[in-house]
Amino acid sequence: MPRTFRKVLVANRGEIAIRVMRTLREMGIGSVAVYSEADRAALHVRMADEAYPIGPAPASESYLVVDRIVATAKAAGCDAIHPGYGFLSENPALPEACERAGVVFIGPPARAMRALGSKTAARDKMSAAGVPIVPGARCETTDEAVAAAKKIGFPVMLKAASGGGGKGMRLVANADEMAHAWERARSEAKKFFGDDTVYLEKAIIRPRHVEIQVLGDQEGNLVHVFERDCSIQRRNQKVVEETPSPAASRDLVARMGAIAVQGAKSVGYFSAGTFEFLLADDGNFYFLEMNTRLQVEHPVTELVTGTDLVREMVRVAQGEKLAFEQGDLTSRGAAIECRVYAEDPVNFLPSPGVIEHLVVPSGPGVRDDGGAYPGCTISSYYDPLISKLSVWAADRPRAIERMRRALSEYVVTGIRTNLAFHEKLFVHPEFVAGNYDTGFIERNRDALLDYPKVKAERRDAVAVAVAVAASKMERAPGSSAAPGAADDKARLSPWVAQHRAGRR
Give the CATH number for residue 83. Answer: 3.40.50.20
Residue 433 covered by a domain? no
Assess whether 251 and 277 both reside in one domain: yes
Q: How does the average pLDDT of the chain come out, rounded?
A: 90
Q: Are residues 126 and 253 in the same domain?
A: yes
Q: Are residues 210 and 286 in the same domain?
A: yes
pLDDT tens digits, residue range 207-255? Answer: 999 999 999 999 999 999 999 999 999 988 999 999 999 999 999 999 9
pLDDT at 191 over 90: no
In this structure, the answer to whether residues 113 and 253 fall within a common structural domain is: yes
Q: How many domains does the chain have?
A: 4
* Exposed/middle/buried for residue 101 (C-beta within 10 Å: 0-12, 13-18, 19+): middle
d(CA 292, CA 313): 12
The beta strand positions in 26-120, using DSSP E, are 30-36, 50-55, 80-82, 104-105
Supply the pLDDT for residue 176: 95
Rounded distance between C-alpha atoms, residue 215 and residue 108, angstroms: 10
Task: Provide the pLDDT for residue 120.
Answer: 81
Are 384 and 418 in contact, with CB atoms under 8 Å apart? Answer: no
Residue 391 lies in a domain: no
Residue 503 or 153, more confident? 153
Domain ends where: 332, 348, 365?
332
Asked if residue 245 is part of any domain, the answer here is yes
Q: Which of 332, 354, 388 is the last residue of a domain?
A: 332
pLDDT of amino acid 162: 78
b/e map 208-239, b = 16+ CB within 10 Å: bbbbbbbbbbbeebbbbbbbbbbbbbbebbbb
Q: Is 293 one of the catalytic residues? A: yes
Residue 50: inside a domain, yes or no?
Answer: yes
> Amino acid identity, residue 287?
F
Please state, in angstroms and as integers, the Cα–Cα distance from residue 188 to each residue in 168, 196, 336, following that order: 5, 8, 32
Whether 292 shows a pLDDT value over 80: the answer reads yes
Least confident of 113-127, 336-350, 467-481: 467-481
**Is 343 inside any structural domain?**
no
Q: Residue 487 pLDDT more than 60?
A: no
Same domain for 12 and 96?
A: yes
Q: Beta strand 357-359 with 411-413: parallel, antiparallel or unpaired? A: antiparallel
Percent pLDDT > 90 in the chain is 79
**Interval 475-486 mean pLDDT:** 42
pLDDT tens per residue, range 386-395? 999 999 999 9
Q: Do 36 and 67 lie in a common domain?
A: yes
* Same domain for 314 and 293: yes
Three-class secondary structure of residue 252 per DSSP:
helix
pLDDT tens digits, 300-327: 999 999 999 999 999 999 999 999 999 9
| Per-residue pLDDT at 453 | 54
Q: Encode pLDDT of 3-39 as tens digits.
A: 999 999 999 999 999 999 999 999 999 999 999 999 9
pLDDT at residue 119, as a whole number: 79
- Mean pLDDT is highest, among 42-46, 460-464, 466-470, for 42-46
Q: What is the pLDDT of residue 5?
A: 98
pLDDT > 70 fraction of the chain, expressed in percent and rounded: 89
The residue ranking higher by pLDDT, 220 or 491, is 220
417 within a domain of the structure (yes/no): no
pTM of the model: 0.85
State whether 116 and 158 are in the same domain. no
Point out the catalytic residue in the list 13, 170, 208, 293.
Answer: 293
Local confidence band at 167 (pLDDT 50, 70, 90 cut-offs) = confident
Range of the domain at 177: 135-202
Does the pLDDT of residue 457 top 80, yes or no? Answer: no
* Co-location of 80 and 191 in the same domain: no
What mean pLDDT is predicted for residues 488-500? 48
Per-residue pLDDT tens for 108-133? 999 999 999 887 889 889 999 999 99
Same domain, 187 and 210: no
Q: Quick one: 240 and 111 in the same domain? A: yes
The mean per-residue pLDDT over the stretch 63-74 comes to: 98
pLDDT value of residue 497: 58
Task: Dump pLDDT digits (tens) for 250-291.
Answer: 999 999 999 999 999 999 999 999 999 999 988 999 998 999
User: For residue 250, is it within any domain?
Assistant: yes
Mean pLDDT of 423-451: 95
Indicate if the pLDDT at residue 459 is higher than 50.
no
Q: Are 263 and 275 in contact (CB under 8 A)?
A: yes
Residue 84 shares a structural domain with residue 25: yes
